[in-house]
Chains A and B, each alone.
Chain A
Amino acid sequence: MAIPKIVPDFRVIRDENLCINCQACCRVCSNDTHSFDQNIAKIISDHRKCVGCHFCEEICSTGALTIEKCYSQIRENFNWNEVDFKNLMKQAHSGGILLTGMGNDRPWINYFDHIVLNASQVTNPSIDPLREPMEIKTFIGRKPDSIEQLKKEKKLPILLETEIPVLFSAMSYGSISLNACKSIAAAAWEAKTYWNTGEGGLPESLKKFVSRTIVQVASGRFGVDARYLNEASAIEIKIGQGAKPGIGGHLPGEKVTADISAARKIPEGTDAISPAPHHDIYSIEDLKQLIYALKETVDYKKPVGVKVAAVHNIAPIVSGIVRAGADFVTIDGFRGGTGAAPVVIRNNVGIPIEIAIATVDSRLRQEGIRNHASIIAAGGIRSSADVVKAIALGADAVYIGTATLVALGCHICQKCYTGKCNWGIATQDPYLTRRLNPEIGKRRLTNLLRAWALEIKEMMGGMGINAIESLRGNRDQLRGIGLNDKELALLGIKHAGDAW
Chain B
Amino acid sequence: MNFKNICQFSDDRKVRIPSGCGIAGIFNKHGELLSGEIIVRAIDSMKDRGNGLGSGYAGYGIYQDCRNYWCFHLLYNQATARDQVEQYLKTYFNVKLSEQIPTRKVKSIKNPPVLWRYFLETKEQMPSEKEENLIVSVCMGINHNANDAFVISSGKNMGIFKGVGEPSEIADFYKLEDYKGYLWTGHNRFPTNTVGWWGGAHPFGLLDWSVVHNGEISSYGVNRRYLENFGYYCSLFTDTEVITYLFDLLARRQNLSLDTIGKIIAAPFWIQLENYSDEEKHLLKWLRIIYGPALVNGPFSIIVARSNFMLGINDRVKLRPLVAAEKGSTFFLASEESAICCMEKNPDRTWTPKAGTMTVCFYEKEHYGNSKDCT
Contacts and interface: CB of A to CB of B under 8 A. Distances in A.
Q: Do A and B come from one complex?
A: yes
B290 A144 contact: yes
Interface in A96-139: 120, 123-125, 127, 132-133, 135, 137, 139
Interface in B194-237: 215-216, 218-222, 225, 228-229, 237
Contacts of A133: 269-271
A465 interface: yes
B299 interface: yes
Contact of B319 (A124, A148, A474): A124
Interface string A462-475: 01111101111111
Given A463-B218, A464-B218, A469 B293 contact: yes
A62 to B, nearest CB: 50
Nearest to B218: A464
A211 interface: no
A147 B271 contact: no
B317 A466 contact: yes
Given A465-B219, A474-B219, 11 more contacts: A124-B299, A125-B299, A127-B319, A133-B269, A135-B270, A365-B228, A370-B229, A465-B297, A467-B295, A473-B293, A474-B218
A466 B355 CA distance: 14
A499 B256 CA distance: 35
Given A124-B319, A365-B228, A465 B218 contact: yes
Contacts of B283: 147
Contact of B221 (A127, A150, A473, A499): A473
A467 B272 CA distance: 14
B319 A125 contact: yes
A483 B125 CA distance: 54
B95 interface: no
A317 to B, nearest CB: 21
Contact of A474 (B19, B222, B260, B269): B222
Interface string B274-296: 00000000010011111111011
B229 A147 contact: no
A477 interface: yes
Interface in A467-490: 467, 469-477
Nearest to B298: A464
Interface stretch (B10-18, B22-30, B173-181, B361-369): B10-18
- Contact size class for B? 35 or more
Contacts of B292: 467, 469, 472
B316 A466 contact: yes
B290 A371 contact: yes
Contacts of A499: 15-17
B299 A469 contact: no
A143 B221 contact: no
Nearest to A124: B216
A135 B269 contact: yes
A154 to B, nearest CB: 15
B293 A124 contact: no
A48 B192 CA distance: 64
- Contact size class for A? 35 or more
Which of A135, A139, A466: most chain B Cβ within 10 A?
A: A466
Which 7 interchain pairs have the tightest Cβ spacing? A500-B16, A476-B221, A469-B292, A470-B219, A470-B297, A124-B216, A474-B221
A120 B229 contact: no
Nearest to A139: B289
A146 interface: yes
B31 interface: no
Given A124-B18, A124-B215, A463-B218, A469 B228 contact: no
Interface string B294-307: 01111100000000
Contacts of B87: none
A470 B218 CA distance: 8
Interface of A: 120, 123-125, 127, 132-133, 135, 137, 139, 143-148, 150, 159, 365, 368, 370-371, 463-467, 469-477, 499-500
A130 B319 CA distance: 16
Contacts of A150: 286, 290
B270 A500 contact: no
Contact of B299 (A159, A464, A470, A476): A464
Contacts of B225: 365, 473
A306 B135 CA distance: 42
B267 interface: yes
B15 to A, nearest CB: 6
Contact of A123 (B192, B229, B286): B192
Nearest to A118: B218
A147 B290 contact: yes
Given A133-B269, A137-B270, A147-B256, A472 B293 contact: yes
A135 B288 CA distance: 12
Nearest to B295: A469
Interface in B291-337: 291-293, 295-299, 316-317, 319
Contact of B222 (A135, A137, A368, A472): A472
A413 to B, nearest CB: 41
Given A465-B219, A469-B222, A472-B222, A365 B229 contact: yes
B289 to A, nearest CB: 5
Contacts of B270: 133, 135, 137
B254 interface: yes
Given A123-B216, A137-B270, A143 B298 contact: no
A75 B189 CA distance: 67
19 contacts: A120-B216, A120-B298, A124-B215, A125-B319, A133-B270, A135-B269, A144-B290, A147-B290, A465-B218, A465-B219, A467-B292, A469-B293, A469-B295, A470-B218, A470-B219, A470-B295, A473-B221, A474-B218, A499-B16
Contacts of A137: 270
Contacts of A145: 290
B347 interface: no
B112 interface: no
B14 to A, nearest CB: 10
Nearest to A362: B225
Given A123-B18, A137-B270, A146 B317 contact: no
Contacts of B293: 469, 472-473
Interface string B154-183: 000000000000000000000000000000
A440 B225 CA distance: 43
